[in-house]
Structure 1
Amino acid sequence: MLTFEKLTPGDNLGTNTQYFDDDVAADWLELFPEDKEDLPELPPGMISAITMRAFLATVQPRPKGNIHGTQEFTVHKFPKLGDEIITTTLCKEKETRKSNNWVYFETQSHDQNGELLFTGSMGIIWGG
């Protein structure tokens, strides 16, 4: 279990690979049909979904009761249909503030050629 005490700033918590293909785009467009105009590039709204899926897959096992508090991204390049999106999640820092344990994570997403796509940071009130 990744308790607050066990998380260490600088730790690489893992890498997750997702594919931006026609099936993924079709699923997204069912929810957000207006994003079709962004294709063949990844619609910007998908960045959060990709990052959260990577976080959920790599930061395991987590205690119950975590609350997603903050999130922001910097886009360096949008992936295109057919690209792999490889996301690494790092523990950036942690602190206790107002009796809440906060953990801050950094994500780095690259394509299959190693090109940086987007980076992100998120703050989570860590449960348990």
Structure 2
Amino acid sequence: MKKPTPVPTAETQPFWSAAAEGRLIYQYCPVCKKAQFPPRHRCASCGQAEITWRESHGIGAVHSFTVVERASAPAFQDDLPYVIALADLDEGFRMMVTMRGCEPHQVQIGARIRVVFELGENTWPLPTATLLGEMLTFARLEPGRVYGRHTETIGQRLIDQWTSLYPWDQPQGDRAPSGLTNMVGMRTYLLAMHPRPPGNVHASIKLRGARPLRIGARVSAEVSCSGKEEKKGRRFVDFHVRGTDEEGHQVIDMELRLIWAQ
């Protein structure tokens, strides 16, 4: 039996369209300066009708949670037991998410989380959350370990944002601007490697040959620690970002070297 599928409305369609691109967005009132979620046709605090959308980094903390041990429908039976949490996002709004990649006893109030979109049997990707864990200090980083994944669609909004900053880097036919490969790789690193100690310094970035990004492609990338060393009193950490499109073609092959602060 399939799980229920979201049915977008006029108010929620922008949210689900962004979700399909791997982006978490929320509403923001320019009058009372408050963030709100779920989407509504006007500000719930002051009644302002002209409300805007902003993009969230997807990082927050568990406000409360419940452990589900009895399925509400047969479609959820195989997921038992699972955790549903209310998460306070750093931008100032609260949303409900299902926790993934952890055991129920690992979830605690105040635990830091990251929202990710899960592409399953539903038409629209669903927001879920993973635990961020403790500060990723030099001693805790493990070479060979995959630290996180990120999926997004190379949509027109992303291309428009890029070309507004770099007008000389334009699409060529169905190929996205070449610089987007670097941007998506860096975004994957920034979203996956949390929480990082403050003060890290980027030492180098290397891009190897891979297929160009296509407009409309859905890119799934992962970040792994490929090595670390102490040299002349500094801590160097290497990361590998690898991304593929929906056809399995490698489109991102990036090596990052950072001087790790702690």
Q: Which residue of 1 aligns with 2:136?
A: 2
Matched, 1:45 2:168: no
Q: CA RMSD in A?
A: 1.2
- Structure 1: 5+ residue stretches without partners: none
Structure with the largest fraction of helix: 1
Contact 1:13 1:91 in 2 (8 A): yes
Worse overlay, 6-15 or 46-55: 46-55
How far, CA to CA, are the matches of 1:51 and 1:37 in structure 2?
A: 18
Q: Does 1:68 align with 2:202?
A: yes
Q: Letter of the aligned partner of 1:35 in structure 2?
A: D
Residue 149 of structure 2 aligns with which residue?
Answer: 15
Deviates more, 1:73-82 or 1:50-59: 73-82
| Structure-2 residue corresponding to 1:115 | 249
Q: Among the aligned pairs, what percent are the same residue?
A: 27
Asked if the contact 1:102/1:123 (under 8 Å) is kept, the reply is yes
Give the 3-state SS of the residue equivalent to 1:49 in structure 2: helix
Q: 1:39 to 1:23 in 2, by over 3 A?
A: farther
Distance 2:197 2:228 in 1: 16
Higher strand share: 1
CA contact (8 A) 1:39 1:80 kept: no
Q: Secondary structure at the match of 2:208?
A: strand
Give the structure-1-normalised TM-score: 0.94
Write the distance in 2 (CA, Å) between the matches of 1:112 and 1:46. 17
Runs of 4+ aligned residues of structure 1 deviating over 3 Å after TM superposition are none
Which SS does the other structure have where 2:190 is aligned? helix
Offset of 1:98 from its aligned partner? 0.8
Aligned to 1:27: 161
- Computing the radius of gyration from Cα coordinates, the structure with the larger value is 2
SS at match of 1:121: strand
Task: Report how many aligned residue pairs link the two structures.
Answer: 128
